[in-house]
Amino acid sequence: MIISDQDIQLFISTIKKFSDYDFSDYSEKSFKRRLAKILSDDKSNINSLISAILKNKEFLEKVVKDITVNTTELFRDPETWHILRYQILPRYKNNNAINIWHAGCSTGQEVYSMLILLNEIGLFDKTNIYATDLNVDVLETAKKGVYKYLFNIGYLDNFDKVIKENPFNYESYNDVPYSKYFGIDKSKDTIKMKSFLLQKPVYKKHDLVRDDNIFSIKFDLILCRNVIIYFNYNLQNKVFNLFYNSLYTKGCLVLGMHETILGQNASKFEKKGQAYFKKEFLSF
């Protein structure tokens, strides 16, 4: 399906006019791909999609949810979790409390990965977890903590790599049973997180385009992984400013494997791989 730049602009301006959502600063390439998918799934064209959006507020909400990508997994990119386990989280072990924000948490697997890791390294009780997303449906799934087993069988492999194995010492192995953190019911095809994990996080709707720090606290750690990849340079910078202002000095922002801070904000952080530490003193 061919979608013109004009079609995209019309779509974005309609959504902006009739809702609180603003996709003007999303990266054009992936936005175009998503819009093409919606049109082909609905066997529709841009004009009929727009008139349906104008007639029905619920349909508008559905389209907004369809346009964003929610792919995620437990311990996604285990290398990042190794860095969190051995290099980032230990920095905060003497804090009285540790505040963590998962921005763009999708269906919650990243949040459960963090909770499991915190429990393994003895930091669970002193940590406060806040998790946000634009899409309220994914937040509802996150709160329930129930996932398809067969579809997500790779989760167990990731769990083993991060929780059982030690990449810095191949001889060390912690035989942590899955049942400590989730139940697997093969007949129901489910993985269900344990209730002590469900109770900990505070989930809230938050739009990185327009909302400020809604929690009115500072954070030691912010994870925003595989979210800004969908934003253009302007919006990325705006979001980096928000995170900068929301972190304690020496607090850490963790981005996705293919994301990086470029431009004016780069000098405000000390980069260590995908981890960006807020600098103590700025020289400008």
Ligand X SMILES: C[S@@+](CC[C@H](N)C(=O)[O-])C[C@H]1O[C@@H](n2cnc3c(N)ncnc32)[C@H](O)[C@@H]1O
Binding site for ligand X (CB under 6 A): 68-72, 76, 104-106, 110, 133-135, 138, 206-209, 225-227, 256
Q: State in angstroms the smallest separation of the CB of 94 from ligand X.
A: 28
State the helix-helix crossing angle for 28-41 and 57-67, rounded to 10 degrees.
130
Our CB check for ligand X shows the closer of 89 and 134 to be: 134
Q: Which residues contact 74 (CB under 8 A, 6 or more apart)?
A: 109, 112, 113, 147, 152, 155, 158, 159
Our CB check for ligand X shows the closer of 14 and 30 to be: 30
Residue 52 DSSP class: H
Q: State in angstroms the smallest separation of the CB of 244 from ligand X.
A: 17
Q: State in angstroms the smallest separation of the CB of 105 from ligand X.
A: 6
Q: State in angstroms the smallest separation of the CB of 199 from ligand X.
A: 21
Q: State in angstroms the smallest separation of the CB of 231 from ligand X.
A: 8
**Using CB atoms within 10 A of its CB, is residue 53 exposed (0-12), middle (13-18) or buried (19+)?**
buried
Our CB check for ligand X shows the closer of 49 and 222 to be: 222
Alpha-carbon distance of 58 to 216, in angstroms, equals 31
Q: State in angstroms the smallest separation of the CB of 61 from ligand X.
A: 12
Q: State in angstroms the smallest separation of the CB of 89 from ligand X.
A: 17
Our CB check for ligand X shows the closer of 39 and 222 to be: 222
Our CB check for ligand X shows the closer of 83 and 138 to be: 138
Q: How is residue 188 written in tokens?
A: 């129901």
- Count Cβ atoms below 10 Å from residue 42 Cβ, excluding itself: 13
Q: How is residue 59 written in tokens?
A: 């349909």
Our CB check for ligand X shows the closer of 106 and 237 to be: 106
Our CB check for ligand X shows the closer of 2 and 259 to be: 259
Alpha-carbon distance of 218 to 195, in angstroms, equals 27
- Count Cβ atoms below 10 Å from residue 268 Cβ, excluding itself: 17
Alpha-carbon distance of 49 to 132, in angstroms, equals 28
- Count Cβ atoms below 10 Å from residue 39 Cβ, excluding itself: 18
